Amino acid sequence: MRRWDALIAVADAFPREPIIVTLGGTTRELAALRRSPNHLYVLDSMGLPPAIGLGVALGLEGSSLGKTIVLEGDGSLLMGLSTLATIGLARPSNLILLILDNGTYGATGNQPTASSVVDFARMAEACGIAATEVDDVNGLKSALDWARAADRAVLIRARIDTTVEKAPFLLEDPVVLGATFADYIARNR
C-alpha cells in the first residue's frame, strides 16, 4: 500500500478526531492531502508522537472527540519504543497508534530500520496494547473500524511501500502549529 492511500483512509475515517502526525513525508503528504486544525504536525521531534498522543488521549478520555490517533513511522517508533510500556501502564481507552511501516528511514534516504526483525504487534501486546497488522487499504479500513470500537489502546502495523508523493515542505512555526491544534481541542472537546 502507498502511504498516500493509507492517509486518505485515515483522514476519511477520522475527520474531526485529534491526529498526531509524525515528521517527514507523513506530515508533508497529509498536509498536502487534507490540511486540518485537528492535525498536530510534529516537525522533527522523532520518537515523540506516541508520547504526545498518550498525553492528548489521557486529557480527552470521555470527550466527544472520541479516539486520538497517532500516525507514526517505523524509525520514529523504534526511537521512542519505551513509550509502548508507558501506554500499557497508563491504559488510555481512546488511543490508536497507526504505524506506517515502510521498513526504512524514508526521510533521510531509505536506510533500513530494524523493522524487519521486530514484531511490533507482539511487542505492543506484551505491553497490554491490542494490536493487528495490515498490508492493504481494505485491511486498514477494517482495522480502523476495529480500533474505533476497542475499549483500550490499539496499535496497527500498516505495511506501506517507499513511494513518496510530491508535496511541499511544511516549514511553519511549531509554536503556531501547536497553538492551532490546542485551540481546536479547546473549542471541540
Ligand X SMILES: Cc1ncc(C[n+]2csc(CCOP(=O)(O)OP(=O)(O)O)c2C)c(N)n1
Nearer to ligand X, 30 or 185 (CB): 30
CB of 178 to ligand X, least distance (A): 17
Q: Does 74 bind Mg ion (CB under 5 A)?
A: yes
22 scored as a contact of Mg ion (CB under 5 A): no
By CB under 6 A, residue 94 contacts ligand X: no
Q: Does residue 46 belong to the site contacting ligand X (CB under 6 A)? A: yes
For the residues of the chain, what is the DSSP string, one character each?
Answer: --HHHHHHHHHHH-SSS-EEE-TTHHHHHHHHHH--TTEEE--S-TT-HHHHHHHHHHHTTT-TT--EEEEEEHHHHHHTTHHHHHHHHH--SSEEEEEEE-SEEGGGT-EE-GGGG--HHHHHHHTT-EEEEE-SHHHHHHHHHHHHH-SS-EEEEEE--S-----------HHHHHHHHHHHHHHH-
> Which C-beta is closer to ligand X: that of 47 or that of 94?
47
Does 23 contact ligand X by CB under 6 A? yes
Of these, 24, 50, 73, 80, which contacts Mg ion (CB under 5 A)? 73
